[in-house]
């Protein structure tokens, strides 16, 4: 193994002080990278980053400063299991902490189903490095050779007699490890050993008892001594800018209420010492807004506008063959598909508490990227980033919608004005109007079948809006939009099938409607188009949709084998090919998420003519996401994706008129309800792969298409525009 | 006065127009009852009013004076022992929560459902729980937990 040296000289002393590392115990640390300000934190972790996340306490337990935010996806639990696996600990011996921004060097925002897939390696290496350093200390303490010190729960044992607990090996001294060659440390978590110590177990969330008793603290639950209550009159439509504001004639704010006008930051609000009088006070404010000139309209997001002249910004695959279009031996199949604007609709509307003082700024909020929030708040307040501390909290749902924390920025501005801690809580209407959205997608696919029933060509064009770059500031946006193809918009747009002649083009058009990360980014809209036309092609060819897909998954390589594998498994699981009753239908779809996770879904859909309803009766899902760290958490994520698939297929649609969102609450923006939720059957494919892969968004995309395909099987009518319902199918 | 989780709690006249939800969270400082939509559509703020599940965001304090209000914090007091309510135990056994935000409301609805109907069938559970939204999509586990709690009560 590499050289690991104890040293007390390091350049990140501040983090250690803030984490209590210098007071007691032992930690490992090396340099960490900086990140680009004002953009979300996007750099992948380096292996050595992991060394700043672990600390051995004098009682022998390990504190894990988890570099992932918890929003219900359970990533901190899985990563804790990896720490436990490397250090031979049980769950009670791991204290998993969400670090404040002054307790850990910056880490990548929690997005993209990456927490386990990307962070398992550096976390594992750090824990293994720590273990081997402790083994060396045990050897030095005992005078025994390192080789005689065998792993034991919570420490090492020698010759079956002497036990050295981790707590025995450290003292009150401050030790920081510098490890200069981690890669040679033996890792246990993915070594293929069975049974695993911690990996593969169904560890519960350490917070579960606090959740079911209402004791977990979310952003909305934070209360500070001396805290005031703020709220903001937000712009009446996208792009509106504040000119001035005043208290309405013949009204007055109460004692203990302050009007805050900040034209530079486009903010007008009230801070009140009484939370119950805040809403009334806000009603008394009369802002003057400048409304934007007509911004690019939403009609731009229509594929028909671009197809005529073939003017697309980005070409991902350029091997089409126009000569085959209309060829006598080729049957042409063409279709357009659209998906809607959609909202995250997390159950917890945004909220934050900010305390802005001369000595420093502190923010409490649930967010997917605390370092991004820190940079934005610092810029807003014209403070040094080092003056700002973000305390991230468990989120009441994220789904991509908490990369920004607008309430944190509002609370910071209000607090700066009044010099006291201020709480801002968005209501549901604000959450719908003032967050960012999943963009609408408009697809056209021209394809053709040759005489053998194989796909001869595939010309796919689509138009949508930027997703990954959706949140960048205006000035930067125009530059980015010119030069950079938004990979988020294109996620999942390449078909997995062997088709000789393919062309794939798209445009990511910025409109005045804010767009950004939403579960799976482009994967679900793009997969809906791909897997719908695959179904149309199968029927046109007179082939079974499962067999038709398998026939086009040809070639060598793990991906082909694994995607075919989950298709066959979900076929077996669902009894694919069996006959079903009238007005019932089975539909199938598959996808590979982020070039790694393979998922196939079968949906059983029933048409209820008397109630004029389309019902998803059951969903079967087979997923190959590599090594499963915690089956319970993975199954929960798959379950969530299946439910989201039902919602996107049948219910969710957000519409915008003149920069105003029409759906402001759950009566009009409908998400799936309990009684609509299908029975589910989830199979995690047991692979001997050593690597855990993306889970959090993977099963969503094929679910949407499977439901649409099942509706076709049940009704003979093809849903090409989402969401669909009974009326849209039959009219 | 209201009886809040077994304790007589004064309601000042100036707070009569405040919602029960705001009172619980910002006056009684019990944060387990959640704000979700403010319009009675989502069920995150579900509490028991005289044992019946109600949306705390849809009730004014003037309407609940003299009544008995139970929140998630008071639910475990409804059990004979000092531990958790059977519904809470079932929620843990089935590892229901993801983000967890809606779960106090789900649990309050389930507890009231089981108090009124100790042996609900599948359709009764589906209908009874449908007023509570869960964006993480934990419905099938919620269903299993309600059925488990019914069996183990």
pLDDT at A700: 98
Distance from CA of B151 to the nearest CA of A (A): 19
pTM score, whole prediction:
0.94
Strands A62-65 and A94-97: parallel
Quick one: which H or E segment has residue A607?
strand A597-608
Locus of tokens 């809580």: A425
Nearest Cα neighbor of A444 from A626, A258, A320, A585 is A320
Which token pair is A617? Answer: 């009766």
Residue with tokens 């001294």: A173
CA-wise closest residue to A707 among A600, A586, A623, A593: A586
Q: What ipTM goes with this model?
A: 0.98
Q: Which residue in B39, B73, B138 is closest to A214 by CB distance?
A: B73
Q: Terminal CA-to-CA distance of chain A, rounded, Å?
A: 69
pLDDT: is B92 or A17 the higher one? B92
Q: Which of B33, B76, B102 sits opposite A347 (nearest CB)?
A: B102
**What are phi and psi for residue A421, nearest 5 degrees?**
-65, 140
Over residues A20-76, the pLDDT tens digits come to: 443 334 444 332 222 222 345 556 666 556 667 888 888 889 889 898 999 999 999
Chain B environment of A225 (Cβ under 8 Å): none
- CB pair distance less than 8 Å for A674 and B134: yes
Mean pLDDT of all residues in A616-621 = 98
Reported residue count of chain B is 153
pLDDT at A20: 43
All residues of chain B having their beta carbon less than 8 Å from the beta carbon of residue A344 are: 135
CA distance A482 to chain B (A): 36
Residue A664: C-alpha distances to residues A237, A654, B38 (Å): 13, 9, 11
Tell me: pLDDT of A4 over 80.
no
The interaxial angle of helices A523-541 and A700-715, nearest 10 deg, is 40
Chain B touched by A225 (CB under 8 Å): no
User: Averaged over B46-68, what is the pLDDT?
Assistant: 98
A673 close to B (CB below 8 A): yes
Q: Please list, residue by residue across A552-563, b when 16 or more beta carbons sit within 10 angstroms of its beta carbon and e when fewer do.
A: bbeeeeeebebb
Task: Tell me what pLDDT residue A649 has.
Answer: 98
Mean pLDDT in residue range A189-210: 83
Q: Which residues of chain B have a CB within 8 Å of the CB of A426? A: none
Interface test with B, best of A77, A201, A203, A211 (most B CBs within 10 A): A211
How far apart are the CA of B133 and the nearest CA of chain A, in angstroms?
6
Is residue A668 scored above 60 in pLDDT? yes
What is the rounded distance in angstroms from the CA atom of residue A378 to the CA atom of residue A361?
A: 9
Name the closest residue on chain A to residue B35, using Cα atoms: A348
Percentage above 90 pLDDT, chain A? 73
Q: What is the pLDDT of residues A699-722, one digit of tens each?
A: 999 999 999 999 999 999 999 999
Whether A251 and chain B come into contact, CB under 8 Å, resolves to: no
Per-residue confidence (pLDDT) for residue A262, from 0 to 100: 97
Residue B66 has pLDDT above 90, yes or no: yes
Cβ burial of A291 (10 Å; 0-12, 13-18, 19+) is middle
Alpha-carbon distance A278 to B61, whole Å?
17
A71, A75, A213, A618, best to mutate vs chain B, most B CBs in 10 Å: A213
Nearest to A562 by CA among A601, A531, A597: A597
Distances (CA, A) of B83 to A178, B78, B89, B149: 47, 10, 9, 14
**A-chain residues within 8 Å CB-CB of B143?**
674
Range A203-217 average pLDDT: 96
Contacts of A640 in chain B (CB under 8 A): 98, 136-138
Is B98 close to A72, i.e. CB distance below 8 A?
yes
Chain centroid to CA A538: 33
Q: Does the pLDDT of residue A171 top 80, yes or no?
A: no
The whole-angstrom distance between B112's CA and the closest CA on chain A is: 15
Instruction: Decide: B30 and B7 in contact? Cβ < 8 Å.
Output: no
Residues 6+ apart with CB under 8 A from B19: B56, B57, B58, B59, B60, B61
Residues forming a β-bridge with A462: A443, A506
pLDDT of A425 > 90? The answer is yes
Find where tokens 């011996």 sit: A93
Q: Which of A353-362, A622-631, A642-651, B76-85 has the weakest average pLDDT? A: B76-85
Nearest to A147 by CA among A155, A158, A163: A158
Given CA atoms A65, A69, A75, A76 in this order, what sign does their dihedral have?
positive
CA A130, A131, A135, A138 dihedral sign is: positive
**C-alpha to C-alpha distance for A50 and A45, rounded to whole angstroms:** 8
A2-16, A109-123, A449-463: least confidently modelled range: A2-16
- How many angstroms separate the CA of residue A553 from the nearest CA in chain B? 32
Cα separation, A412 vs A280, in Å, equals 22
> How high does pLDDT run on average in chain A?
89
Backbone dihedral region of B53: left (phi > 0), alpha (psi from -120 to 50 degrees) or beta? Answer: beta
Whole-angstrom distance, CA of residue A26 vs CA of residue A12: 15
Range in A318-327, A594-603, A675-684 with the lowest mean pLDDT = A318-327
Closest CA to B88 of B112, B69, B115, B107: B107
pLDDT for A32 equals 28
Give the integer Cα–Cα distance in Å for A51 and A105: 11
pLDDT tens track for A220-253: 999 999 999 999 999 999 999 999 999 999 999 9
B137 with A665: Cβ contact below 8 A: no
- The answer to whether the CB atoms of B142 and A71 lie below 8 A apart is no
Between A333 and A47, the higher pLDDT residue: A333
Q: Is A644 on the interface with B (CB under 8 A)?
A: yes
Has residue A273 got a pLDDT over 70? Answer: yes
Cα end-to-end span (Å), chain B: 32
Helix, strand or coil, per DSSP, at residue B123: helix
pLDDT of residue A603: 98
> Which residues are registered as beta bridge partners of A422?
A228, A354
Q: Do B132 and A642 touch (CB under 8 A)?
A: no
Tell me how far CA of residue A660 lies from CA of A297, A343, A438, A568, A655, in angstroms: 13, 14, 15, 46, 8
Q: Do the beta carbons of residue A111 and residue A117 sit within 8 Å? A: no
Rounded CA separation A142/B113 (Å): 62
pLDDT reading at B39 higher than 50 = yes
Residue A274 corresponds to which tokens in the numbers above? Answer: 């009484």
| Residue A33: predicted pLDDT | 27
User: In residues, how long is chain A?
Assistant: 731
Rounded to a whole number, what is the distance in Å from the CA of A10 to chain B's nearest CA?
37
Task: Render pLDDT for A117-159 as a digit per residue (tens, 0 to 9).
Answer: 889 988 888 888 889 888 988 999 899 999 999 999 999 999 8
Q: Does A632 touch chain B (CB under 8 A)?
A: yes
Q: How many CB pairs under 8 A join A and B?
A: 165
Lowest mean pLDDT among A290-299, A310-319, A538-547: A290-299
A660 pairs with which residues across the strands?
Answer: A657
Domain assignments of chain B as residue spans, ordered by start: 2-75, 78-152
How many CB atoms sit inside 10 A of residue A266's CB? 14
A675 to B104: CB separation less than 8 angstroms, yes or no: no
Least CB-CB distance to A674: which of B32, B75, B139? Answer: B139
Nearest CA in chain B to A642: B137
What dotted CATH number matches B78-152?
1.10.150.120
Neighbours of B94 (CB within 10 A): 20
A398 and B101 in contact by Cβ < 8 A? Answer: no
Mean pLDDT across the stretch A689-702? 91
CA distance B123 to chain A (A): 8
Give the span between the Cα atoms of A186 and A174, in whole angstroms: 26
Q: Is A216 on the interface with B (CB under 8 A)?
A: yes
- Determine how β-strand A314-318 pairs with β-strand A228-232: unpaired
The fold of the B2-75 domain, in CATH, is Ubiquitin-like (UB roll) (3.10.20)
User: What confidence tens digit (pLDDT) does each residue in A430-483 have?
Assistant: 999 999 999 999 999 999 999 999 999 999 999 999 998 888 777 777 777 777
- Under 8 Å between Cβ of A242 and B135: no
Q: What domains can you pick out in chain A, each with its CATH number? A: 4-205 (3.30.365.10), 220-292+350-425 (3.30.365.10), 298-335+437-730 (3.30.365.10)
Q: Helix/strand/coil (H, E, C) string of A615-635?
A: EEEEEEEEEECECCCCHHHHH
């Amino acid at each position: 193994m590499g050289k690991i040296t104890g040293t007390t000289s390091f350049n990140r002393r501040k983090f250690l002080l803030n984490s209590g590392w210098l007071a007691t115990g032992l930690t490992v640390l090396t340099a960490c990278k900086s990140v680009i300000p004002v953009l979300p934190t996007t750099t992948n972790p380096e292996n050595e980053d992991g060394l700043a996340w672990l600390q051995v306490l004098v009682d022998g337990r390990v504190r894990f400063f988890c570099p992932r935010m918890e929003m219900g996806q359970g990533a901190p639990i899985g990563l804790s299991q990896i720490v436990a696996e490397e250090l031979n600990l049980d769950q009670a011996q791991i204290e998993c902490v969400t670090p404040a921004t002054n307790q850990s060097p910056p880490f990548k925002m929690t997005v993209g189903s990456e927490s386990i897939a990307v962070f398992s390696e550096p976390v594992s290496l750090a824990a293994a490095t720590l273990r081997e350093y402790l083994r060396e200390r045990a050897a030095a303490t005992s005078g025994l050779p390192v080789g005689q010190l065998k792993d034991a729960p919570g420490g090492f044992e020698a010759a079956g007699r002497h036990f050295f607990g981790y707590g025995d090996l450290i003292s009150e001294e401050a030790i920081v490890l510098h490890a200069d060659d981690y890669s040679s440390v033996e890792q246990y978590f993915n070594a293929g050993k069975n049974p695993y110590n911690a990996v593969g177990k169904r560890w519960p969330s350490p917070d579960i008892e606090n959740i079911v008793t209402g004791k977990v603290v979310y952003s909305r639950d934070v209360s500070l001594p001396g805290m005031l209550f703020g709220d903001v009159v937000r712009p009446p439509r996208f792009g509106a800018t504040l000119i001035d504001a005043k208290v309405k004639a013949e009204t007055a704010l109460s004692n203990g209420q302050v009007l805050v006008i900040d034209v530079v930051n486009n903010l007008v609000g009230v801070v009140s010492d009484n939370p119950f009088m805040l809403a009334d006070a806000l009603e008394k404010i009369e802002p003057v807004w400048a409304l934007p000139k007509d911004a690019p309209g939403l009609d731009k997001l229509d594929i028909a506008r671009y197809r005529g002249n073939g003017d697309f910004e980005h070409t991902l695959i350029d091997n089409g063959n126009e000569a085959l279009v209309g060829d006598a031996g080729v049957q042409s199949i063409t279709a357009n598909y659209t998906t809607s604007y959609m909202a995250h609709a997390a159950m917890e509307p945004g909220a934050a508490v900010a305390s802005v003082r001369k000595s420093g700024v502190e923010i409490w909020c649930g967010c997917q990227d605390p370092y991004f929030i820190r940079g934005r708040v610092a810029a807003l307040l014209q403070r040094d980033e080092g003056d700002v501390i973000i305390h991230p909290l468990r989120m009441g749902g994220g789904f991509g919608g908490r990369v920004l924390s607008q309430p944190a920025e509002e609370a910071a501005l209000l607090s700066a004005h009044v010099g006291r801690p201020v709480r801002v809580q968005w209501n549901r209407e604000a959450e719908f109007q003032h967050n960012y959205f999943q963009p609408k997608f408009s697809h056209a696919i021209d394809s053709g079948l040759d005489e053998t029933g194989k796909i001869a060509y595939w010309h796919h064009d689509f138009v949508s809006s930027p997703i990954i770059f959706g949140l960048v500031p205006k000035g930067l946006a125009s530059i980015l939009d010119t030069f950079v193809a938004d990979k988020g918009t294109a996620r999942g747009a390449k078909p997995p099938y062997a088709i000789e002649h393919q062309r794939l083009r798209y445009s990511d058009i910025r409109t005045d409607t804010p767009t950004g990360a939403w579960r799976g980014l482009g994967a679900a809209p793009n997969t809906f188009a791909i897997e719908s036309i695959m179904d149309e092609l199968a029927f046109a060819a007179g082939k079974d949709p499962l067999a038709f897909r398998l026939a086009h998954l040809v070639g060598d390589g793990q991906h082909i084998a694994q995607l075919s594998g989950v298709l066959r498994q979900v076929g077996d699981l669902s009894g694919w090919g069996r006959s079903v009753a009238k007005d019932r239908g089975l539909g199938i779809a598959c996808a590979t998420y982020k070039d790694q996770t393979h998922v196939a879904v079968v949906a059983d859909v029933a048409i209820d003519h008397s109630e004029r309803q389309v019902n998803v009766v059951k969903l079967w899902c087979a997923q190959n996401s590599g090594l499963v760290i915690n089956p319970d958490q993975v199954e929960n994520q798959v379950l969530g994706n299946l439910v989201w698939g039902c919602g996107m297929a049948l219910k969710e649609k957000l519409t915008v008129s003149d920069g105003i969102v029409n759906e402001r609450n759950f009566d009009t923006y409908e998400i799936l309800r309990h009684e609509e939720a299908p029975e589910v059957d989830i199979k995690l494919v047991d692979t001997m792969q050593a690597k855990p892969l993306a889970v959090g968004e993977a099963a969503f995309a094929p679910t949407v298409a499977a439901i649409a395909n099942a509706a076709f099987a049940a009704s003979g009518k093809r849903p090409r525009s989402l969401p669909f319902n009974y009326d849209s199918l039959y009219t | 006065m209201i009886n809040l989780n077994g304790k007589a709690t004064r309601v000042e006249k100036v707070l009569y127009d405040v919602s029960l939800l705001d009172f619980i969270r910002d006056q009684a400082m019990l944060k387990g009852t959640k704000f979700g939509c403010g319009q009675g559509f989502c069920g995150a703020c579900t509490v028991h009013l005289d044992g019946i599940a109600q949306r705390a965001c849809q009730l004014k304090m003037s309407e609940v004076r003299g009544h008995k209000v139970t929140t998630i914090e008071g639910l475990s007091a409804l059990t004979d022992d000092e531990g958790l309510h059977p519904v809470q135990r079932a929620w843990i056994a089935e590892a229901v929560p993801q983000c967890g935000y809606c779960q106090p409301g789900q649990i309050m609805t389930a507890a009231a459902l089981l108090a009124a109907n100790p042996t609900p069938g599948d359709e009764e559970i589906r209908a009874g729980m449908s007023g509570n939204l869960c964006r993480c999509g934990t419905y099938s586990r919620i269903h299993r937990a309600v059925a488990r709690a019914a069996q183990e009560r």
